[in-house]
Amino acid sequence: MADNSKMLRRVDAARFLTEHGFPTATATLSKLASIGGGPKFVRYSRFPLYAQEDLLDWARSRCSKRVASTSELAAIGR
């Protein structure tokens, strides 16, 4: 985590992702924090805090490669 990265509470993290083109609900981040598979976070007292760079890295990792048709998605398993 970079020292200059602003840390965001969960509701702000969801808003940040949505504003950057990755529609994400606060409830999604909450659930994934419990079951795994979500972006990295740290705890500050009882609050989960997310670094902007970790949020964007996580969102980008969930995207498929660029395709011209949905049939290409089936070929790559997405």
pLDDT in tens, 60-71: 999 988 889 888
Q: Which domain holds residue 63?
A: 7-76
pTM for this model (two decimals): 0.83
- CA 29 to CA 10: how far, in whole Å? 7
Is residue 33 assigned to a domain?
yes
Is residue 1 assigned to a domain?
no
pLDDT of residue 4: 60
Interval 1-50: pLDDT, tens: 555 679 999 999 999 999 999 999 999 999 999 999 999 999 999 999 99
Q: Could you identify the residue written with the tokens 């419990």?
A: 34
Is residue 43 assigned to a domain?
yes
pLDDT band (50, 70, 90) for residue 55: very high
- CA 55 to CA 61: how far, in whole Å? 10
Spell out where the chain has E strands: 7-8, 42-44, 47-51
Average pLDDT over residues 48-58: 97
Structural domains of the chain, count? 1
Is residue 56 assigned to a domain?
yes
Six-digit token pair at 71? 């049939």
